[in-house]
Amino acid sequence: MTEVLTPNAAPIVRRAIPVTTDSLPATLHPILKRVYLARQITQATDLERSLSALLPYQDLKGIDTAVTILTQALAQQQRILIVADFDADGATSCAVALRALRALGARHVDFIVPNRFEYGYGLTPEIVQVALSKQPQIIITVDNGISSVDGVAFAKSHGIQVVITDHHLPGEQLPAADAIVNPNQPGCFFKSKSIAGVGVIFYVMLALRAQLREINWFARQPITEPNLATLLDLVALGTVADVVSLDHNNRILVAQGLARLRARQACPGILALLKIAGRDAERMSTMDFGFCVAPRLNAAGRLDDMSIGIQCLLTDDPANAAQLASQLDQLNRERRNIEATMRDEAIASLQQLHDLDDLSRIPFGLCLFDANWHEGVIGIVAGRLKERLHRPVIVFAPGKDGLIKGSARSIAGLHIRDVLDEIAALHPALLHKFGGHAMAAGLTLKQSDFVAFQQAFDTRVRAHITDAELQRILLSDGDLNANDLTLDLAELLRNAGPWGQGFPEPRFDGLFDVVNARIVGTHHLKLTVRPKGAQRVIDAIYFNIPDSLAIDSLQQVQLVYRLDVNEYQGQRTLQLMVEYLHVVM
């Protein structure tokens, strides 16, 4: 693949050694084949997207024990309580568990989701205390629980069985749950270590249905055996929203979910969220999940109570779904305003301390704290700063009892949870608690220890990455000639995914003459460009352009771009989505 360095240097093109042997179909479009080979796709089986190609649930350690417990719970109609996380993965996981268990015959199943501002993350003793009012006999965690040692112990002391389903990395001590299903726990041979929490609970429900089928459960009840594929819209949303790597197994789950959405065979809540975002379900993409649906769903957990989002995903009434989607949309608008203020304050604070035009003077590992920042939005702000400065960032907000809560976002090549683990080992009194995975993590520490943590974090980051690794790299799939720049190719590439984290959407780079350029909105650049040496012109759009870009100087540019289909007033045309622009002098 091509590597294009930004933002402090003109693009530098490096051609990787191409894969020389493959067994991909000879009928593949040569551009698409080039794209696949750059992503290490070398055989036709890597392109399989049918459910029959999914990894077997039998490879998940602990799933047999979990199924035995849940089978008994259904037979005895025990009270089951789902304890969810307060993000989109947690919300979709909760909806999958509830919908599946009810379809499988459970009559006493409910959920709670911790309010992040009162109880924090996971199955804590405090949230178990709240759960006791519902008198559960079994607690199932979804997208959390692997670090809930104290909470599980507290639940067990009250005679509650606990089944943990999670995907986060475990600590040194596992909780003493009755069953743990987590592909990242020691001794688990399930190959998809990047499966999201919603994928884990979906697998548990598949295994439970298989067991119930074996014992002739559906005939004896009698109930109709459910088609769990109807839940794949939820699985796809949670998988994309949690920004897990789209390995082959995850691509199958997402592709199947997208197919259901495009056929409008999705839950009313997702359809309502798409409608309020102005997106057409029939042309749904992973980007619509990531930028339109997930932010609105996440807004509930960030600013209010994720129960609103979960109820939106659970309702089968389109009118109720529309009302709940409207509430989520309003919360998302509030979240955007809070985020913009915090982001501007963070940049202003950084500019007072560092020259942002000279990234070499900024710490390798960056920590920011403000006593007025909103706890629910710090993760988004950390992500925005990470994208702008291309270095790991932790943003902190006030918590309770003299503690501050941090949300960390990392860059490729730096496992952020491992860094926090090292700090905890070197400075045992510094971190109150932490957890997460390679690209994102959460932590709490005393406000009085913030400066000491700042220094420790920067030191450990410097131990793992170099100046060169802090240089932003845009991976390109090379140049396209003028004849390749077509609507047909844009459609082909759109449908060849699903694209996402770890399996990036195809992007290309090349020289173009600028025919016209104008600002639209406040920070967006609308272009008409001509491929070098060609006669035809193509529309392009560059969102959030740098303040330093001189529009009048745009005569010839090198673009890094994606092919997109622009739909306006019933007309469909090719459009380039510009990700980087370099003025050629």
Neighbouring-strand partners of residue 567: 572
**pLDDT at residue 13 greater than cutoff 80:** no
Does residue 344 lie within any of the structural domains? no
* pLDDT tens digits, 143-175: 999 999 999 999 999 999 999 999 998 988 999
Per-residue pLDDT at 2 exceeds 80: no
Which tops the pLDDT comparison, 471 or 547?
A: 471
With CA atoms as reference, report the closest residue to 433 among 171, 183, 209, 244. 171
For residue 366, the one-letter residue type is L
Beta bridge partners of 541: 526, 577
Domain boundary among 428, 453, 470: 470
- Token pair recorded at residue 296: 């609105």
**pLDDT confidence band for 438 (50 / 70 / 90):** confident
State the amino acid at position 359 in one-letter form. Answer: L
- pLDDT tens digits for 203-248? 999 999 999 999 999 999 999 999 999 999 999 999 999 989 999 9
Return the closest-CA partner of residue 538 out of 502, 575, 513.
575
Same domain, 236 and 260: yes
Instruction: List the structure tokens of 227.
Output: 């088609």
Give the model's confidence band at 14: pLDDT under 50 very low, under 70 low, under 90 confident, else very high: very low
The DSSP bridge partners found for residue 326 are: none
How is residue 503 annotated by DSSP? Answer: B
168 plus 66 within the same structural domain: yes
Q: Residue 164 carries which side chain, given as an amino acid letter?
A: I
Lowest-confidence pick of 286-295, 466-475, 492-501: 466-475
Decide if 226 is inside a domain: yes
Concatenated DSSP letters of 26-46: TTS-HHHHHHHHHTT--BGGG
Q: Is pLDDT above 90 for 437? A: no
Q: What's the rounded Cα separation, in Å, for the pair 74 and 213?
A: 13
CATH number reported for the structural domain that contains residue 165 in this entry: 3.90.1640.30
Could you tell me the pLDDT band of residue 433, with boundaries at 50, 70 and 90? confident
Q: What is the pLDDT of residue 211?
A: 98
Mean pLDDT score, 470-496: 91
CATH number of domain containing 6: 2.40.50.460
Q: Which residue's entry shows tokens 């009313």? A: 268
DSSP string, 389-445: H-S-EEEEEE-STTEEEEEEE--TT--HHHHHHHHHHHSTTTEEEEEE-SSEEEEEE
Q: Are residues 477 and 466 in the same domain?
A: no
Q: How confident is the model at residue 355 (pLDDT cuts 50, 70, 90)?
A: low
Token pair, residue 334, equals 């509030």
Within a 10 A sphere around the Cβ of 521, how many other Cβ atoms?
9
> Would you tell me how many other CB atoms lie within 10 Å of the CB of residue 326?
15
Query: Mean pLDDT over all residues of the chain?
Result: 91
Whether 338 maps to a domain, the answer reads no
Query: Residue 448: which CATH number?
Result: 3.10.310.30
Q: Is the pLDDT of residue 288 over 70?
A: yes
Q: 174 and 242 share a domain?
A: yes
**Domain that residue 451 falls in:** 354-470
Cα→Cα distances 360→153, 156, 363, 390, 582, Å: 47, 52, 8, 11, 21
- Interatomic CA distance for residues 137 and 147, integer angstroms: 21
Which contiguous run of DSSP H or E holds residue 336? helix 318-353
Strand pairing class (440-446; 472-476):
unpaired
Number of domains comprising the chain: 3
The pLDDT of residue 10 is above 60: no
For residue 67, the model assigns a pLDDT of 98
Report residue 100: phi and psi, to 5°.
-70, -50
Helices 378-389 and 318-353, interaxial angle, to 10°? Answer: 50
What are 54-94's pLDDT values in tens digits?
Answer: 999 999 999 999 999 999 999 999 999 999 998 999 999 99
For residue 527, the cross-strand partners are 517, 540
pTM of the model: 0.91
Tokens of 294: 């997930």
Q: How many CA atoms lie within 13 A of 147 on its CB side?
A: 20
For the residues 395-415, what does the mean pLDDT come to?
92
Percent of the chain scored above 70 by pLDDT? 95
Choosing from 448, 470, 492, the residue where a domain stops is 470
What pLDDT digit, counting tens, does each position of 112-142 carry? 998 877 777 789 999 999 999 999 999 999 9
Statement to judge: residues 390 and 290 lie in one domain: no
340 vs 4, higher pLDDT: 340
The answer to whether residue 575 sits within a structural domain is yes
Q: Are strands 571-583 and 538-542 parallel, antiparallel or unpaired?
A: parallel
Query: What is the percent of the chain with per-residue pLDDT over 90, rounded to a whole number?
Result: 75
**Within this chain, do residues 101 and 7 fall inside the same structural domain, yes or no?**
no
State whether 463 and 486 are in the same domain. Answer: no
Pair 90, 111: CB distance under 8 Å: no
End-to-end CA distance of the chain: 25
Do residues 287 and 191 both lie within one domain? yes
229 and 299 both lie in a single domain: yes
In a domain, 183, yes or no: yes
Q: For residue 226, what is the enclosing H or E element? A: none
Q: Are residues 205 and 270 in the same domain?
A: yes
- 336 is a domain residue: no
Q: Who wins on pLDDT, 304 or 35?
A: 35
d(CA 513, CA 531): 6
Q: Is residue 341 part of a domain?
A: no
366 and 290 belong to one structural domain: no
**In the prediction, which pLDDT does 541 show?**
95
Range in 8-17, 423-432, 532-541, 574-583 the model is least confident about: 8-17
Rounded CA-CA distance 443/471 in Å is 27
Place of tokens 């839940």: 231
In whole angstroms, give the CA distance from residue 352 to residue 203: 50
What distance in Å separates the CA atoms of residue 389 and residue 349, rounded to the nearest whole number?
Answer: 14
Single residue among 265, 296, 330 that ends a domain in this structure: 330
Handedness of CA 94, 98, 101, 103 (dihedral sign): negative
* Residue 342 maps to a domain: no
Single out the residue of 398, 341, 348, 400 nearest to residue 369, CA to CA. Answer: 398
Report the pLDDT value the prediction gives residue 140, as an integer from 0 to 100: 98
Tell me the H-state helices in 87-145. 88-103, 125-131
Cα 486 from Cα 527, distance rounded (Å): 17
pLDDT exceeds 90 at position 356: no
296 and 435 in a single domain? The answer is no
pLDDT number for residue 171 = 85
Please tell me the distance from the alpha carbon of residue 546 to that of residue 219, in angstroms, as a whole number.
64
Averaged pLDDT for residues 495-507? 92
Please give the pLDDT value at position 3: 42
Q: Are 124 and 151 in contact (CB under 8 A)?
A: yes
Please name the residues in contact with 216: beta carbons below 8 A apart, sequence gap of 6 or more: none
Can you list the pairs that 273-276 forms with residues at least 24 positions away whose Cβ atoms lie under 8 Å? 273/297, 273/312, 273/325, 273/328, 273/329, 275/322, 275/325, 276/322, 276/325, 276/326, 276/329
